[in-house]
Structure 1
Amino acid sequence: MKIFNYRLVIFILSIIFGVVFSIPSFLQTETGKKISLGLDLQGGLHMLLGVKTDEAVTSKIKSIATAVKYFSDDEDILIDGLSIKSNDSVVFSVLDKDEFPKVDKMLEEIKGLDISKQELEYTLTLSAEEEIQTKDQAVSQVVETIRNRLDQFGLAEPTVVRQGETDIVVQLPGIKTAEDERAARELISKPANLELMAVDEERADQVYNMSKAQAAQYGDIILEATDNPNVKYLVKEIPILNGSQVVDAQVAFDQSNQPIINFTLNSAGARIFGDFTGKNVGKRLAVVLDGKVYSAPNIRERIGGGSGQISGGFTVIEAGNVAIALRSGALPASVELLEKRSVGPSLGADSIKASTIALVSGFLIVFIFMIIYYRRAGIIANVALITNIFIIIAIMAMFGATLTLPGMAGIVLTVGMAVDANVIIGERIRELLRQGVSIPKAIEDGYSNAMRAILDANITTLLVAVILYAYGTGPIKGFAITISIGILASMLTAILGTHGIYEALLPKISKDKNLNKWFGIK
């Protein structure tokens, strides 16, 4: 019989694969893919955020009002009293009944609207179904937006998952200083709601003597300047544009070397921006970010090209964070911090130490037991066991998986399961040898007889792991991934690998005929 067989070749290739791709993780080299440590192993920040979904409904209502304003201006339809009532409805009047068909056709294209018409006045509200859907989409969008911001910020392996109807869990491994924590929290919670709003030039000089209720009567709101709360602006409540039309934002520097943000609008936004500036030369346009006026320059000419600028005393870091927030999209609703837990790096180091001791001690006990009880058959099983661990680490590193404490527990459990398969095989071989069956036949029949039990045990465990991954979150997913990889690797090493080793050593075993030395049979 040939020393090298296909089983042994596959096993050797598996060993090479496992060792090569796990070295970067074990040695923490600068190059190569490595396993990232989870929050519980390297320390970091855990936050539970609540999304204020009612604000998403208000934002949707405001966007509908903006659409109505742009349509009426573009089609030269005379409307009056366009305003938002109680943050949940849009009210306006059409002065010419002949324009009703145009307005009705435009409103039909907006999904989820309940339209009420009384004489010349329209009242627009969201349907109950659309309101629920808007709130649900807002939470999903906040999850995606926060994840995009953290990715652009450069944080390694952030975890952002939805919990319940309105809550979001954010885990940031590697956040170790108060400054890093503050920067991350600011980036996550910043709404980055950019709006371009027309200044009410007719009443602008009355802003300091006007209440919010008086401003609302004219369809206006009062906003403060970002650098001086004593400076106020009276602007139209319905914005000309909002951040949804922004496609890019970059940090630049003005002539005095102060950080500014250049933003670019999409084609629809560029058209609206160009039309508005062309019709309002000589008037002011307020650049509003998160409810604060950063600047209100005079419009000197029509501005084409769909680009603009935000200036307002930014630091370089603040400008960078705002640019990231604008690029990744504004939050459809603000978030509030419900819970915060910081895991220190020292606690993470203690977790690594404790879990490593558990893994190594469990591995050594199993390793020694197999050698004492099964002799050289135990050594063969231990080779498969070591290979199994290398393969687990290599596959996790290749996919950029994050190792957590439950993941470490999964590795320890996999060690026991990998040995379990070898124990079943070893016992079947020993039973046949005690019955006087020849060594070659005992090995072949031993693997054949053990196969059903091994497959049943591993497949059922794998199914449970798949269910845990599908319905679990965070650490549970980490445990499921680790144990799934371990099961598949153990089936490769325990069934295919050790069988290949036995086939290669079979001539020597048959010649020696020392069953005690090879299989522990006295």
Structure 2
Amino acid sequence: MLQIDRWKRILIIGLCVLGLAYAMPNLFYKRVETHNDAVIAVERSGGAATAEQEAAMALWPNWLPSSLVNLGLDLRGGAHLLAEVQVDQVYKARMDGMWPDLRQALSDKRATIGSIRRVSSPDGTLAIEIENADQMQVAVEAARSLSVPVTTLTGAGQDDLTVTASGNTLTVQLSDAEKAVTDDRTIQQSLEIVRRRVDEVGTREPTIMRQGQDRILIQVPGIGSAAELKALIGTTAKLTFNPVIGTGTNPNANPGIGNVILPSQEQPGLFYTLEETPVVTGEELTNAVPSTDQNGQPSVDFRFNPSGARKFGEYTTANIGQPFAIVLDNEVISAPVIRQAITAGSGQISGSMDFESANRLAVLLRAGALPAELTFLEERTIGPELGQDSIDAGRLASVVATIAVICYIVASYGLFGVFASIAVVVNVILILAVMSIMGATLTLPGIAGIVLTVGTAVDANVIIYERIREELRAGKRVVRAIDNGFKEAMSAIIDANVTTFIAALVMFFLGSGPVKGFAVTLTIGIVTSVFTAIYLTRLLIILWIDLRKPKELVL
């Protein structure tokens, strides 16, 4: 019979009220957003709140839900970048880092192969000349002893190094299988580091994803410009500590094999000749925070992990009185003389920087160095005015669509059309509530998904009402006709929504960007529209029957 148990009635009404409570903060977006930002800032500072933060937190009661629907790049404004990762730089770094081990392995065979000398070679390769060319096979075996198997299914049975010989020259480079693994690992590392850097500055719902073989798509809502975003993530922030061989003013001088000439940041025109292989790198940092030096000037304090602290301590102990270069992105920012052994595992970077650049450097060092340089192929800044125009247009489209649907359904079904209209409005509220709870991002295509949901939300009611009309024409009583109408329409409603739900899931998992934003709102809308059309509308009709007890029904 046409009845709903009391507990089910309470559950249906409770879900609608709960949805209204979670959707309500979006009506006061700026106020709630300011409150949430202040709460996050206080939590990060350890619980101490300033007067401004307390005023911001007071803008919204703590006992009310404060989750918001995040606005996408096209609604909020922000920056869009498409970057290409220069994976070839990783090959060079791998070979340069391997030289000390290879030199040691060949030195152990010096009695057989004679003297060894590294010679110039293309980036990503190591070329070594040996004295006794007739003993080249011994050198090849020594080099191959440093290789390890590639740890992927596609590279199974292959080593990570390719060793070849020509005359008295031994050449070592990464194998093709290892290059493929390295490329994938480099992209994944770059994705993670870019995500860390963006998260450090507290932006909401950035889109950071791989695109193609060696590209990364970065979309950050709410940031000022593409230039600001590039300054944050485009810097490699590669920190190294290198031994100093000498200084000079000629940047084109021959530094010698295994060495490099880098400019001084503090003294323009001065160039340092350094050993290319660093003693310690920024990868061994555990923390970096902005600070001030002994003169009150901006600086960055850093701390090494145990491995870095040990190497740093051993080197400074053995080289007291020698200069030691601190290199950031191929610039010597400082080259202090080692006065005493530094075994505590901490240090300080100071120089020509202001407090803003010191804070940005600390963020970059905490997030880690990019494994390779990013080349920006595409950059766009979307202004907040354009985003506001999109919001206004989307809001207008939603209102017009909702009013048009309500007018049509009321004109077609009278009072029952009013019940369906209430269900449509509640459906939109539930969509916003679910998106707020999930922290989902609303984009312009997402608004289109909501508008489409409004248009299709009454489909289930139309099917139900038409079945009720058929039952009434067959001479059934009002209650029996309504009950049969809901039962007979159920299978058609489920079939129609399941097929749409499957299509929405396919768009979500296989699509990207706008397609995914559309799929999110469509998927949520399908679930909420089924709930409101079947259960909420049924409840409203039952309450009306209990109140009016109609003997006839004109539908």
The reply to whether TM is greater than 0.5 is yes
Deviations 1:7-55 (A, max 9, x none): 4222201211111001111222334111121111122222222222211
1:498 alignment partner, one of 537, 542, 553: 537
Equivalent AA in structure 2 for residue 193 of structure 1: K
Separation in 2, partners of 1:225, 1:114: 37
1:247 alignment partner, one of 260, 277, 286: 286
- Distance change >3 Å, CA 209–CA 237, structure 1 → 2: same
Separation in 1, partners of 2:12, 2:91: 59
Separation in 2, partners of 1:147, 1:348: 23
Q: Which residue pairs with 2:98 in the alignment?
A: 64
Q: Give the alignment's Cα RMSD to 1 decimal.
A: 3.0
Separation in 2, partners of 1:299, 1:383: 77
Check the 8 A contact 1:83/1:237 in 2, yes or no: no
Equivalence map 1:14-413=2 (5 Å): 14-28=15-29, 29=32, 30=35, 31=60, 32-65=66-99, 81=117, 85-91=121-127, 107-108=147-148, 112-115=160-163, 123-176=171-224, 181-200=226-245, 204=246, 207-208=248-249, 211-212=252-253, 214-217=254-257, 219-413=258-452
Ranges in structure 1 where 5+ consecutive residues have no aligned partner:
none
Q: CA deviation at 1:444?
A: 2.0
- Distance change >3 Å, CA 247–CA 99, structure 1 → 2: farther
Separation in 2, partners of 1:79, 1:173: 59
Equivalent AA in structure 2 for residue 129 of structure 1: A
Q: Identity over the aligned pairs, expressed in percent?
A: 36
Separation in 1, partners of 2:344, 2:484: 78
1:422 alignment partner, one of 437, 461, 477: 461
Separation in 2, partners of 1:7, 1:444: 17
Check the 8 A contact 1:3/1:504 in 2, yes or no: no
- Distance change >3 Å, CA 302–CA 119, structure 1 → 2: farther
Equivalent AA in structure 2 for residue 279 of structure 1: A
Higher RCO by CA contacts (8 Å cutoff, separation 6 or greater)? 1
Separation in 2, partners of 1:384, 1:488: 13
Deviations 1:407-436 (A, max 9, x none): 000001111221111111111111111111
Q: The residue matched to 1:425 in structure 2 has which SS?
A: helix
Equivalent AA in structure 1 for residue 96 of structure 2: K
Q: The residue matched to 1:216 in structure 2 has which SS?
A: coil
Equivalent AA in structure 1 for residue 185 of structure 2: Q
Separation in 2, partners of 1:70, 1:149: 38
Equivalent AA in structure 1 for residue 89 of structure 2: E
Q: What number of residue pairs does the alignment pair up?
A: 504
Equivalent AA in structure 2 for residue 63 of structure 1: G
Q: The residue matched to 1:264 in structure 2 has which SS?
A: strand
Q: Structure 1 residues 142-151 or 498-507, which shifts more?
A: 498-507
Q: CA deviation at 1:82?
A: 5.9
Equivalent AA in structure 2 for residue 505 of structure 1: W
Q: CA deviation at 1:269?
A: 1.9
Q: The residue matched to 2:290 in structure 1 has which SS?
A: strand
Q: Which residue pairs with 1:11 in the alignment?
A: 12
Q: CA deviation at 1:282?
A: 2.2
Ranges in structure 2 where 5+ consecutive residues have no aligned partner:
36-59, 61-65, 108-113, 151-158
Instruction: Tell me the TM-score normalized by structure 1.
Output: 0.88
Matched, 1:513 2:547: no
Equivalent AA in structure 1 for residue 203 of structure 2: L
Separation in 1, partners of 2:302, 2:536: 59
Check the 8 A contact 2:226/2:379 in 1, yes or no: no
Q: Structure 1 residues 401-410 or 238-247, which shifts more?
A: 238-247
